[in-house]
């Protein structure tokens, strides 16, 4: 069986992602449940990379067989990633604002 | 054991005073976090005997609860009770909720509105069940009434809890904290009073969907 570069790199990335998730569990920053969900997600990606035939049913059902559709789906994936990234950034900013407001409120407590 | 009650409040001027007075019968101090209210919530709570902290802007129930918890820690509380300011929860239940903490059987106690005969509208029961299921999917821990704001944090939980979610998602985040820190949990049946006001004030469907998505997204990307 001959592997393409994609079939080697993707499972490697998945392995790193899964290792990182369990490392976070050990450092008590992620729960076991979250690490299981994360492992399942990356495990599926690695499996699809190693055995692309697994997607035959999906391609038949969705019609992502031709090149144009593949390009559209790829860009949808990229847009989803950008969206996730923006949501995380907005949440971080929200949390930063909340921390400032909390500090101001607790300053009043010191005065009391 | 020094016990503090934390009450996040947003425009609850008509109700906060009574809740503070009732809660003070069972705890050593009551901390009201006025979450950017435009009415006289802060003044009324203060008059009723609460320590009042004010957010200069509305941040959400989760953010206000965490501010109250932080204040309680600074004031040396060992045990923290959280309850709503809208008279939905009965402070009379505080001793029952405190019991598992005082007997060292639990680190956190959840009030369970469905554990006793309460008149709860069907739609509320339905949305709470969905909330429970989403919480289970996100945390792997089943709590019979995960979305109830009435809880007691024992010394260990009070010291370790760190809520980052600002809105109503904080209830799910507390369950996540339970799983992460391996807190021992207990669930105690509690009374709930749904008035016309509390029913009208409840979350909209769109808000519920938004909250659910935020919980799932955050639990995955954390």
Residue B42 in contact with partner chain A when CB distance is under 8 A: no
Minimal Cα distance from A27: which residue of B?
B180
For domain B3-221, the CATH class is: alpha beta
Helix (H), strand (E) at residue B155? helix B155-160
Provide the token pair at B83. 């309850």
Looking at the partner chain, which of B63, B71, B181 has a beta carbon nearest the beta carbon of A98? B63
Percent of chain B at pLDDT exceeding 90: 58
Looking at the partner chain, which of B63, B179, B221 has a beta carbon nearest the beta carbon of A31? B179
Minimal Cα distance from B176: which residue of A?
A31
The C-alpha atoms of residue B194 and residue B152 are separated, in whole angstroms, by: 21
| pLDDT category of residue A111 using cuts at 50, 70 and 90 | low
Minimal Cα distance from B219: which residue of A?
A34
pLDDT, tens digit, 9 for 90 and up, residues A2-46: 778 888 888 898 899 899 889 888 887 788 888 888 899 889 888
The confidence score (pLDDT) of residue B40 equals 93
Residue B160 in contact with partner chain A when CB distance is under 8 A: no
Q: What is the mean pLDDT of chain B?
A: 89
Helix (H, G, I), strand (E, B) or coil at B132: helix
Where on the phi/psi map is residue B76: left (φ > 0), alpha (ψ -120 to 50), or beta? left
Beta bridge partners of B52: B32
pLDDT, tens digit, 9 for 90 and up, residues B4-33: 999 999 999 988 999 999 999 999 999 999
Every domain of chain B and the residues it spans: 3-221
The C-alpha atoms of residue B160 and residue B166 are separated, in whole angstroms, by: 18
Angstrom CA distances, B180 to A33, B54, B115, B123, B173, stand at 9, 30, 25, 31, 10
The confidence score (pLDDT) of residue B26 equals 96
The radius of gyration computed from the CA coordinates of chain B, to the nearest angstrom, equals 16
CB contact under 8 A, A97 and B67: no
Residue A92 in contact with partner chain B when CB distance is under 8 A: no
By C-alpha distance, which of B166, B153, B147 is closest to B88?
Answer: B147
The confidence score (pLDDT) of residue A74 equals 73
Predicted structure pTM score: 0.80
Looking at the partner chain, which of B63, B139, B166 has a beta carbon nearest the beta carbon of A33? B139
The confidence score (pLDDT) of residue B186 equals 95
User: Chain B residues with CB inside 8 Å of A98's CB?
Assistant: 59-60, 63, 166
Listed range (B82-86, B150-154, B192-196) with the worst mean pLDDT: B192-196
Residue B108 confidence (pLDDT) above 70: yes
């Amino acid at each position: 069986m001959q592997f393409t570069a994609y079939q080697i790199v993707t499972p490697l990335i998945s392995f790193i992602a899964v290792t990182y998730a369990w490392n976070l569990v050990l450092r008590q920053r992620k729960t076991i449940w979250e690490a299981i969900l994360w492992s399942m997600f990356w495990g599926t990606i690695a499996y699809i990379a190693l055995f692309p035939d697994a997607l035959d049913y999906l391609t038949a059902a969705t019609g992502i067989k031709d090149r144009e559709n593949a390009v559209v789906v790829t860009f949808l994936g990229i847009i989803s990633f950008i969206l996730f990234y923006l949501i995380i950034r907005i949440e971080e900013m929200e949390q930063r604002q909340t921390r400032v407001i909390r500090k101001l409120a607790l300053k009043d407590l010191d005065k009391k | 054991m020094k016990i503090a009650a934390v009450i996040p409040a947003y425009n609850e001027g008509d109700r906060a005073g009574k809740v503070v007075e009732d809660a003070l019968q069972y705890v050593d101090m009551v901390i009201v976090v006025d979450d950017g209210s435009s009415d006289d919530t802060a003044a009324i709570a203060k008059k009723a005997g609460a320590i009042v902290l004010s957010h200069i802007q509305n941040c959400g129930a989760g953010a206000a609860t965490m501010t109250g918890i932080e204040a309680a820690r600074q004031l040396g509380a060992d045990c923290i009770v959280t309850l709503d300011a809208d008279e939905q929860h009965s402070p009379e239940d505080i001793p029952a909720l405190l019991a598992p903490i005082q007997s060292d059987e639990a680190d956190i106690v959840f009030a369970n509105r469905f554990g006793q005969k309460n008149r709860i509208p069907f739609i509320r029961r339905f949305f709470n069940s969905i909330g429970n299921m989403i919480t289970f999917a996100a945390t792997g821990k089943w709590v019979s009434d995960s979305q109830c704001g009435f809880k007691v944090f024992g010394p260990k939980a009070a010291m370790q809890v760190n809520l980052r979610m600002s809105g109503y998602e904080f209830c799910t985040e507390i369950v996540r904290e339970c799983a992460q820190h391996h807190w021992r949990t207990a669930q105690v049946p509690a009374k709930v009073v749904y008035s016309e006001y509390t029913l009208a004030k409840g979350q909209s469907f769109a808000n519920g969907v938004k909250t659910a998505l935020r919980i799932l997204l955050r639990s995955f990307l954390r």
